[in-house]
Amino acid sequence: MDNRPIGVFDSGLGGLTTVKQLMSVMPNEDIVYFGDTGRVPYGNRSRETIIRYTRDDINFLLKHNIKMIIAACGTASSVALPYINDVGVRIIGVLEPACQAAVNRTRNGKIGVIGTAGTIKSDKYAQIISEIDPAAKVYSAACPMFVPIVENGYANTEVARIVARDYLTGLKNEGVDTLILGCTHYPLLEGVISDIMGDGVELISSGREAAESARKLMADEGLLTGSALEGRRQFFVSDSTESFAQLGGLFLGSEIELSVHQTMI
């Protein structure tokens, strides 16, 4: 048993969808979340900048005596983690769990991936899927407007539907039956995406699969908490705490009751 907290980071708010899933599958675990809201988005940055930002995020979490780190950011997971080695604790991203789930669930071998420009440009989802199943065909699409649409409160509007239809029509025409939501903001658009793709396409949430993967790894390695109490959640950001607290409820599905702290990294 290990009562240290789980560390989670993202470039902004989107990683809270992963926190929501962690709270669901491991309600007794303490969580420390860092959102780099002062430098969001990561998706259109250079590889060198994304790696530097990711190292900063990891180093901040390490100060909180965490037992595992989840990179709840598709861009950091795909672009930076391959270049970051021993940090003293296990660190997992959101790519491998989502890819494994997609390969397990596809029926026709055609898998779609949507993400930020940086995530799609890295081509890491396609590479990982190919390693798991060389016969699988992967079709990708960058959806750069999805993050600002979500963060500005337009997730369930006609604006979101118009933009999503433009992004997703090509994937739908390719006949994908499984679609990886390769950014943790995208679950807030699940309804719109599902309507456009149709009932025959299963959506894979990278945050949900990462949370399940973390639970299994921690159980196997004896890292689950021994506490029977509800876990404590701490939230840190590198910019305004007010806007984070206001929008955080959209991602967690409830108001953030604990205080949000601003920090320099």
Catalytic residues: 73, 183
The pair of three-digit structure tokens given for residue 28, joined into one six-digit string: 């007794």
**Tokens representing 264?**
């320099």
As a whole number of Å, the end-to-end CA separation of the chain is 30
C-alpha to C-alpha distance for 43 and 220, rounded to whole angstroms = 33
Q: CA torsion sign, 225 to 228 to 231 to 232?
A: negative
Alpha helical stretches, state H, the chain: 16-25, 47-62, 74-75, 95-105, 117-122, 124-132, 146-151, 158-174, 190-197, 206-220, 241-252
Residue 242 half-sphere exposure toward CB, CA atoms < 13 A: 0
**Nearest of 28, 31, 23 to residue 230 by alpha carbon:** 28
CA 247/CA 16 separation, integer angstroms = 10
161, 178 contact by CB (below 8 A): no
